[in-house]
Structure 1
Amino acid sequence: MEQELISKKELLELTDISYGQLYRWKRKNLIPEDWFIRKSTFTGQETFFEKKKVLERINKIKNMKDDLSLDELADVFETVQDAPGGSPANPKIALYKEQLIERNIVTTTALNVYIQQHGEMPVYSFPSILSIYVLDQLLAAGEMNLDEGKLLLQTLEAHLKSFEGKHCELIFTRKMGISSFILVSSPNEIYFDRGVKVVARYMLTRFIEELTAKINGTEGR
């Protein structure tokens, strides 16, 4: 499936930001270089973006920039740029089980499913917390059951590291009652046969940004 694109001109008009703002955010790496897609058109070379992804990022920047400097925002978004499917640039991030629950980062249901598969840990690293958080969000959305949640954890644990330095999309499918989770580099095109139902598609960067904001206490700013 090809991602819907939006031109730079349309983006500036739709978001009511200036050319200068867009490229200032680019210099600060709030909008990564590889999000700027150059394409040939009948008028010459034009710049495009993946519409959904760039609109979500600009909305986050506009909502948070009154509370955080551009450099602080860059630190929040840095998590997305540098690691496995966007795992954190700072490997020192780790939390105790009690902190995960008390700070409302994940629910006890999702945490217990993870513990059933991996055992209880002294502390939980960011990649582990990310897996639990993704599980939690999909369970909360009512898009999968606990058995499917266990399969999701297996998929993330087995393959997320393969996406180091790449943007990664999670695709959840069902065919004849059989569930599957797919991790694919983004942007990319992927096609399914008629018997496959795509239950949900998520950019991992969305979950990473949300989780980073929860950990840093900047959620909702």
Structure 2
Amino acid sequence: MEEQLISKKELLEETSISYGQLYRWKRKNLIPEEWFIRKSTFTGQETFFPRDDILKRISKIQKMKENLSLDEMRDMLSPKMTDVSMTEEELLQKGLISKAALHVYASGESEACAEFTSRDLLSLYVIEGLLQSGSISLDEGKMAADVLKRYDASEMKAHTELVILRKLGVTTCFIADAEHILFEQSVKVVERVALRAASEELKTKFMQEDHQ
């Protein structure tokens, strides 16, 4: 499927933002450089954007700017997790992660983890969401946890996903950076989790607590 684009002129009209706002947000890395696509038209060179991505991003910026500074929004939208660590007790107390997710994540570890790093927290948050969805079993959750533990989150791209597949009762999972993935018809796609979106959601929860 060909990616749907929107021109800069259409974008400014549809979102009611100014040229200056758009490029200020670009300079602050609130909008990725790669979303500014230069194409030749009959009037010359014009700038286009991936329609769905840019409209969702601008809507999110407009909502966040009521409570956050540009720098806080930049940190929120960055693929890098906020440098934070939490204990199991703190996670349970805040209601961020359930005991079931902690158990699944700790499976195979020789000893309990005293503190969870930013990388752990993102993986735990994804596992929590998968278990809450009811679409995977505990064993499939352990498989996903193993993949997430070995993934370097600093390599996260805009379209990085955790993909869980099932074929003839056999489940597998992997992490992919491609926007479009075509599977054979006999494969059931159980879940596709956008890791960058999960990271943004988790950071939103942290910032909401900081501002309470």
**Following the alignment from structure 1 to structure 2, what is the Cα–Cα distance between the partners of residues 2 and 218?**
40
Q: Which amino acid aligns with 1:171?
A: V
Q: Is the alpha carbon distance of 1:70 and 1:155 closer, same or farther for their aligned partners in structure 2, counting shifts above 3 Å? A: same
One-letter code aligned to 2:27: R
Cα gap change, 1:11/1:17 in structure 2, threshold over 3 Å: closer, same or farther? same
Corresponding residue number in structure 2 for 1:195? 186
Specify whether residues 76 and 181 from structure 1 end up closer, same or farther in structure 2 by C-alpha distance, changes over 3 A only.
same
Which ranges of 4 or more aligned residues in structure 1 deviate by more than 6 Å? Answer: none
Residue 211 of structure 1 is matched in structure 2 by 202
Q: Tell me, what secondary structure is at the counterpart of 1:75?
A: helix
The offset of 1:43, in angstroms, is 4.8
Q: Which residue of 1 aligns with 2:89?
A: 98
In the alignment, structure 1 residue 129 sits paired with structure 2 residue 121: yes
Report what 1:64 is aligned to: 64
Distance 1:162 1:133, change over 3 A: closer
TM-score calculated relative to the size of structure 2 = 0.84
Structure 2, unmatched stretches of 5+, are none
Which amino acid is 2:96 matched to?
I
1:130 is displaced (CA, Å) by 0.7
| 1:100-179 pair list within 5 angstroms | 100-118=91-109, 119-158=111-150, 160-161=151-152, 164=155, 166-167=157-158, 168-179=160-171
Structure 1 residue 13: Cα displacement: 3.4
Q: Give the Å deviation of 1:142.
A: 2.6
Task: Give the Cα–Cα distance (whole angstroms) in 2 for the partners of residues 23 and 218 of structure 1.
Answer: 30
TM-score by length of 1: 0.81
Q: Distance in 2 between matches of 1:219 and 1:52?
A: 30
How far did residue 2 of structure 1 move? 5.3
Residues 220, 142 of structure 1: alpha-carbon distance in 2 compared, 3 angstrom cutoff: farther
Q: Distance in 1 between matches of 2:57 and 2:211?
A: 14
Q: CA RMSD in A?
A: 2.7
Counterpart position of 1:181: 173
Contact 1:28-1:70 within 8 A present in 2 as well = yes
Query: Higher Cα Rg: structure 1 or 2?
Result: 2
- The one-character-per-residue Cα deviations of 1:163-184 (angstroms, maximum 9, x if unpaired) are 6263322222222222222312
| Residue identity matched to 2:48 | F
Taking the aligned partners of 1:55 and 1:218, their CA distance within structure 2 comes to 27
CA distance 1:200–1:15, change in 2 (3 Å): farther
What one-letter code is carried by the residue in structure 2 that aligns with 1:107?
A: S
What SS does structure 2 have at the residue aligned with 1:117?
A: coil
- SS of the equivalent of 1:156 reads helix
Give the number of the structure with larger relative contact order, counting CA–CA contacts within 8 Å between residues 6 or more apart.
1
Number of residue pairs matched? 210
- Residue 47 (structure 1) shift: 3.0
The percent identity for this pair of structures is 45
Inter-partner Cα distance in structure 2 for 1:162 and 1:208 = 10
Opposite residue 124 of structure 2, the aligned amino acid is I
